[in-house]
Amino acid sequence: MVEKVLLTGLGSIGKRHASNIKSLYGDDVVVGVLRRKSRKHSSLVDVSLYSWEEVEKWEPVIAFITTPTFMHKEDLLRLLEISSIKYIFIEKPVSNKIEDREVLCKLVREKGIVTYVAAPLRYTPVIKFYKLKEDDWKPLQMVRICASSHLPDWREGIDYSKHYSADRALGGGVALELIHEMDYVRYLWGNPVKGIWGNAYVSDLDLRAEDTVFGVFRTDEGILIDYYVDYFSLKPDRFFEVRSTRFFARFDILSQYVYVRDRFSERFLRFEFQRNDMHIEELKHFWKIIRGEIISDNDICNAFDTLGFVFRFYENTL
């Protein structure tokens, strides 16, 4: 049976999803996109729709929310009114307003809709390797997390200062834009329970949001986390280090290598990886959810829990 798949936007991530869906499931899907403005039809999709009324008449079963963060709530509410919709993939972060949690989770449950919120770093080789070998890293005392990048370099040909990423009111700011780190903290080491949280604007970038967040906290599994994220640095970094009295290990997410040292030896592992690989793996995971082979492991309510922890960085501004 051919399924109709709707994308609510065709920006950079929407284009990536459209291409990947067609590549993996082209014979089994028809891909449509909601175009909010009169734009030419894109060859990446099969159907262009120009209003929610047209979407409802088209009767999609699967939807991908691929609009800017501040539009996610509106898109989700619209999709929940369409009786044909059964599965919704939501780009991260789930929302820019934590107060949306109660009403949206309740509506999704009442409608019986299966949701999944993007968490692509889970599908990188180094994080998959850590998860597979997690018993090898015990007992673990401390984890250091770092993610640094340069916002003006994120999107070629686009003025970063006019993009929603630069405006907290639109869902921008580094805390939300790089929510991936908090997702994998919870995925690997549990929920933060107590600590020190903060944010700052320290660069000369033209922003209406924080460019740095930091924290030191313990999780409910007893792990001490040192957390630092920025998007003003000219030198890109993305890694986590795990430390104990037995070993040290660095997991580099950008270069996809693992370095491990104990009292007697050291090891270095490098993984073959292209950026799109994690999105392909996540899409396959979502399709397993659709087929009923597995349950959603990052539904809208769990993603709102992650958002709630990220909002703690707003408690203190330096």
Phi and psi at residue 280, to the nearest 5°: -65, -45
Q: For 103-154, what is each residue's pLDDT tens digit?
A: 999 999 999 999 999 999 999 999 999 999 999 998 899 999 999 999 999 9
Q: Select from 137, 318, 172 the least CA-distant residue to 245.
A: 137
Q: Dihedral sign, CA of 285, 105, 191, 195? A: positive
Instruction: Give the Cα separation of 95 and 99 in Å (integer).
Output: 9
- Which of the four pLDDT bands, split at 50, 70 and 90, describes residue 42? confident
- Look-up of token digits 């692509």: 120
**Domain 3-117 and domain 121-273 have a common topology:** no
* pLDDT of 38 higher than 70: no
Instruction: Out of 3.30.460.80, 3.30.360.10, 2.40.240.10, 3.40.50.920, select the CATH number for domain 121-273.
Output: 3.30.360.10
The CA dihedral of 254, 255, 261, 265, to the nearest 10 degrees, is 170
Instruction: Please give the average per-residue pLDDT across 314-318, as a whole number.
Output: 95
Per-domain boundaries in the chain: 3-117, 121-273
- Which of the four pLDDT bands, split at 50, 70 and 90, describes residue 37? confident
Instruction: State both tokens at 42.
Output: 């894109």
- Which of the four pLDDT bands, split at 50, 70 and 90, describes residue 41? confident
- 237 φψ region: left (φ > 0), alpha (ψ -120 to 50), beta (else): beta
- Which of the four pLDDT bands, split at 50, 70 and 90, describes residue 40? confident
Indicate the pTM of the whole model.
0.95
Q: CB within 8 A of 219, min separation 6: which ones?
A: 185, 189, 190, 191, 192, 193, 225
Instruction: State both tokens at 109.
Output: 């449950």
Q: For 51-109, what is each residue's pLDDT tens digit?
A: 999 999 999 999 999 999 999 999 999 999 999 999 999 999 999 999 999 999 999 99
In this structure, of 35-39, 112-116, 186-190, the range with the lowest mean pLDDT score is 35-39
Mean pLDDT of the chain: 96
3-117 under CATH 3.40.50.720, yes or no? yes
* pLDDT of 36 higher than 90: no
- Which of the four pLDDT bands, split at 50, 70 and 90, describes residue 156? confident
